[in-house]
């Protein structure tokens, strides 16, 4: 509840006071008391409720039930619940009594004018809670929680404007208002009250840097009517008295939650008494609302795909055609970044991550631009940012980034339950080094941003053993019709050696890898026998397996997975400059489009006319209702230490679960 206001009565002349509907006013009768006072009575006109309380912590009793012994510890509380029609149209009368006198010793009169003031916004978040019974100064998570939500207005609804909407202090087009939250100031009471009282909308300088408020001051269909009144250098605004009892404001977020910013922003309206020209205006009442800035949310590969992105470069025509066909089967839109825009940078997965933000009134896709800044660095801002498609990025001030700052090293799990805690939006997975070691890590500004979103708490995995250093080199997630609704795929040298040993026992030791690789003289075939007799390769892959096993245990613990939730995919690695790269195309680095999988063609040993690696993968995944398509990415991607997933990106349908219903 808002803080009570204390009013002192005077015996010499009546006192006029402004009350706010539904808010307690404490009446101090002890400063001016007739000599000999032993008792008092207090009465009010209809519509005025008066209570007596020993103190604020104890219960209250109606004051008009009896005569009260005069005790300085008693508190008189006046409450009015309906606004006045005229100034001073209600009053409270206090009579002072002595047992030695038949008549009252004196009277004091308090004239009351009641005004109803409320600063409101959508607190219910689609019916989470009845807004009549919530504290607007609080923001509470969960299905029984409450609180208003603010979107960062990070799209660009007017394509002719050179900046994002949150970088502009003007409303350039009416569509921009759809990305904002509405805040309403309601006032009821005598109009004459505001001849010497005023309403001020205000916020802190800290919050003013993170949100902006527009006041509609004219025809709603004109952009010029929306006046910037709070935000950045503006921390207060005297609300003019227009016609009517309701003033509407549009609020936009300027900043995402981040290090030092929880995402909570408060706005206040204060009624000020400006009736005495000799003094500064004094506050009578303040109402407050709190918004939470909506977090940026990632989408796992198990969600429905909507749009596939791929780059066309000088030697990947067949690859692009294969991705286009897979997108067609999955019913996805296909967006191709042409070579004159990508300048032969094909790693579109590394350049950006596609997610979304959401409020009850609007869901907005938002691209997170990585700090890698390759030749594709302009693509997210120049080609994806636009009407109803937002943009955010984080770059270290010293611009020191490593390969781990590419977003092939940024993935998210499907929804999980781990250690008794639900993660209905999954958990972000990023790669780093072992705890306590000094290897590569994702840059601090990106880690801070991801942790601050709260709804997908990150898990840091060990990837510094990899040359490229991305989590998508050894894991992926696919949808499944049973169990938890998904399977996690892990690259497994152990499974690969086991498969090759079985094939050798069956007399296929001379079967060759890399047969059929087109237009690549650098690649030499190698038999199963040669692989299994290569002690250096075997020894190195035991090391790789130990690194993956370390991550396996972390993932089981942090995602609540059992062995039945994990599928081991045969894969070998080799060493380059003491770091691991895929020996043959990395099978887990796949494109997942619903039930359609675009998997790197491994060019494994051909046995009975079929690639035994492809056959093994089919036997593991197709019983789950999935369709495996093996895409030749050998020359344009694998030889450059990337695969299908690295060369594609996907915008997906948002979660049906609303983020505000979770408890972080």
- Of the residues 155, 350, 568, 632, only one is catalytic, namely 350
DSSP SS3 for 375: coil
End-to-end CA distance of the chain: 26
Q: Give one DSSP letter per residue of 65-92, joined into a string.
A: GS-EE--TT-EEEEEE-S--SSTT-EEE
Separation CA 349–CA 642 (nearest Å): 10
Q: Give 340-350 pLDDT, tens digit per residue.
A: 999 999 999 99
Q: Is 334 exposed, middle or buried (0-12, 13-18, 19+ CB in 10 A)?
A: middle
Q: Give one DSSP letter per residue of 575-619, joined into a string.
A: EETTEEEESS--TTS-EEETTEEEEE-----EETTEEHHHHHHHH
In order of start, what are the domains of the chain with their CATH numbers?
A: 5-115 (2.60.40.1860), 122-293 (2.60.40.1700), 297-655 (3.75.10.10)
Evaluate if residue 53 carries a pLDDT over 90: no
Name the pLDDT band for 71 (thresholds 50, 70, 90). Answer: confident
Evaluate if residue 446 carries a pLDDT over 50: yes
Evaluate if residue 131 carries a pLDDT over 50: no
Contact 626, 329 (CB under 8 A): no
Separation CA 222–CA 174 (nearest Å): 8
Q: Give 593-623 pLDDT, tens digit per residue.
A: 999 999 999 999 999 999 999 999 999 999 9
Separation CA 360–CA 131 (nearest Å): 15
Nearest to 582 by CA among 646, 503, 516, 627: 646
Q: Does 646 qualify as catalytic in the annotation?
A: yes
Separation CA 462–CA 432 (nearest Å): 5
User: Distance from CA of residue 662 to its chain's centroid?
Assistant: 12
Evaluate if residue 132 carries a pLDDT over 60: no
Contact 207, 291 (CB under 8 A): no
Evaluate if residue 433 carries a pLDDT over 60: yes
Interval 413-442 mean pLDDT? 93
Q: CA triplet 210, 658, 650: central angle to 5 degrees?
A: 85
Contact 234, 428 (CB under 8 A): no
Nearest to 366 by CA among 153, 198, 201, 518: 153
Q: Is 451 exposed, middle or buried (0-12, 13-18, 19+ CB in 10 A)?
A: middle
Name the pLDDT band for 563 (thresholds 50, 70, 90). Answer: very high
> How many CA atoms lie within 13 Å of 320's alpha carbon, on the beta-carbon side?
18
Report the mean per-residue pLDDT for the chain: 93
Evaluate if residue 213 carries a pLDDT over 70: yes
- Of the residues 179, 472, 632, 633, only one is catalytic, namely 472
What is the chain's alpha carbon radius of gyration, rounded to the nearest angstrom?
A: 34
Find tokens 């549009």 and name the residue.
Answer: 250
490 membership: H or E segment, kind and range: strand 486-492
Q: Is 507 exposed, middle or buried (0-12, 13-18, 19+ CB in 10 A)?
A: exposed
Separation CA 179–CA 343 (nearest Å): 34
Q: Give 136-188 pLDDT, tens digit per residue.
A: 889 999 999 999 999 999 999 999 888 999 998 999 999 999 999 999 999 99
Contact 257, 293 (CB under 8 A): yes
Q: Give 12-40 pLDDT, tens digit per residue.
A: 678 889 999 989 888 887 777 888 999 99
The DSSP secondary-structure symbol of 455 reads S
The token pair at 655 is: 């979660």
% of the chain at pLDDT higher than 90 = 82
**Which range, 142-146, 264-268, 373-377, is most confident?**
264-268
Interval 116-125 mean pLDDT? 82
Cα four-point dihedral sign 161, 165, 167, 171: positive
- Of the residues 97, 215, 470, 645, only one is catalytic, namely 470
Nearest to 632 by CA among 472, 525, 515: 515
Q: Does 470 qualify as catalytic in the annotation?
A: yes
Nearest to 323 by CA among 296, 305, 340, 339: 305
Neighbouring CB atoms inside 10 A of 532's CB total 16
**What pLDDT was estimated at residue 4?**
56
**Picking from 269-283, 349-363, 541-555, 643-657, which range would have the lowest pLDDT averaged per residue?**
269-283
For 65, phi then psi, to 5°, come to -90, -20
Q: Is 127 exposed, middle or buried (0-12, 13-18, 19+ CB in 10 A)?
A: exposed
Separation CA 582–CA 591 (nearest Å): 17
**What pLDDT was estimated at residue 1?**
46
Find tokens 């245990």 and name the residue.
Answer: 553
Separation CA 177–CA 264 (nearest Å): 21
Q: Does 628 qualify as catalytic in the annotation?
A: no
Q: Does this model's pTM top 0.85?
A: yes
Evaluate if residue 465 carries a pLDDT over 60: yes
Q: Give 216-255 pLDDT, tens digit per residue.
A: 998 999 999 999 999 989 999 999 976 568 999 999 999 9
| 243 DSSP β-pair partners | none
% of the chain at pLDDT higher than 70 = 96
């Amino acid at each position: 509840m808002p803080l009570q206001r204390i009013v002192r009565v005077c015996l010499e002349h009546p006192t006029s006071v402004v009350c706010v509907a539904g808010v307690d006013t404490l009446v101090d009768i002890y400063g001016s008391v007739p000599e000999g006072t032993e008792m008092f009575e207090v009465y009010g006109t209809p519509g005025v409720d008066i209570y007596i309380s020993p103190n604020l912590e104890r219960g209250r009793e109606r004051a008009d039930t009896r005569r009260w012994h005069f005790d300085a510890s008693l508190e008189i509380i006046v409450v009015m619940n309906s606004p006045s029609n005229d100034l001073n149209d209600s009053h409270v009368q206090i009579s002072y009594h002595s047992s030695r006198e038949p008549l009252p010793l004196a009277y004091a009169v308090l004239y009351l004018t009641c005004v109803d003031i409320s600063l409101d916004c959508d607190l219910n978040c689609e019916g989470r809670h009845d807004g009549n019974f919530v504290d607007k100064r609080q923001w509470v998570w969960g299905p029984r929680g409450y609180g208003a939500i603010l979107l960062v207005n990070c799209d660009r609804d007017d394509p002719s404007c050179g900046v994002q909407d949150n970088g502009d202090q003007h409303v350039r087009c009416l569509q921009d208002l759809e990305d904002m939250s509405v805040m309403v100031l309601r006032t009821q009471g005598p109009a004459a009250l505001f001849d010497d009282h005023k309403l001020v909308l205000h916020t802190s300088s800290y919050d003013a840097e993170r949100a902006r408020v527009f006041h509609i001051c004219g025809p709603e269909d004109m952009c010029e009517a929306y006046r910037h009144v709070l935000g950045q250098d503006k921390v207060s605004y005297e609300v003019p008295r227009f016609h009517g009892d309701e003033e509407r404001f549009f609020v936009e977020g300027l900043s995402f939650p981040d290090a030092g910013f929880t995402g909570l922003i408060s706005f206040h309206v204060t009624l000020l008494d400006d009736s005495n020209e000799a003094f500064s205006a004094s506050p009578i009442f303040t109402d407050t609302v709190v918004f939470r800035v909506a977090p940026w949310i990632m989408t796992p590969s198990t969600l429905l795909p909507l749009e596939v992105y791929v780059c066309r470069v000088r030697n990947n025509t067949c690859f692009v055609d294969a991705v286009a066909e897979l997108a067609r089967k999955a019913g996805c839109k296909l967006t191709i970044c042409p070579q004159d825009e990508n300048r032969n940078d094909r790693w579109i997965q590394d350049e950006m991550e596609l997610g979304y933000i959401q409020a009850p009134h609007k869901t907005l896709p938002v691209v997170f631009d990585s700090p890698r800044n390759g030749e594709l660095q302009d693509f997210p801002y120049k080609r994806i940012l636009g009407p109803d498609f937002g943009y955010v990025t984080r770059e270290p001030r010293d611009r020191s980034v490593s390969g781990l700052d590419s977003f092939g090293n940024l993935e998210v799990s499907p929804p999980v339950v781990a250690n008794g805690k639900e993660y209905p939006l999954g958990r972000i997975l990023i790669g780093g080094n072992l705890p306590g070691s000094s290897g590569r890590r994702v840059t601090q500004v990106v880690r801070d941003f991801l942790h601050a979103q709260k709804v997908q708490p990150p898990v840091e995995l060990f990837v510094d053993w990899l040359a490229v250093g991305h989590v998508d080199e050894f894991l992926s997630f696919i949808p499944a019709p049973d169990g938890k609704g998904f399977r996690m795929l892990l690259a497994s040298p152990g499974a690969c050696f086991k498969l090759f040993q079985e094939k050798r026992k069956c007399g296929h030791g001379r079967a060759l890898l890399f047969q059929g690789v087109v237009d690549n003289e650098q690649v030499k075939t190698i038999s199963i026998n040669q692989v299994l007799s290569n002690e250096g390769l075997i020894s190195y892959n035991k090391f790789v397996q130990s690194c993956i096993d370390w991550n396996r245990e972390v993932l089981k613990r942090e995602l609540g997975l059992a062995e039945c939730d994990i599928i081991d995919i045969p894969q070998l690695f080799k060493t380059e400059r003491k770091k691991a790269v895929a020996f043959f195309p990395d099978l887990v680095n796949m494109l997942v489009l619903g039930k359609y999988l675009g998997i790197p063609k491994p060019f494994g040993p051909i046995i009975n006319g079929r690639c035994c690696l492809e056959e093994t993968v089919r036997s593991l995944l197709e019983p789950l209702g999935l369709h495996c398509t093996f895409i030749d990415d050998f020359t344009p991607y694998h030889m450059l230490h990337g695969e299908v997933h690295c060369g594609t990106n996907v915008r997906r349908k948002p979660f049906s679960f609303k983020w505000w219903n979770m408890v972080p």
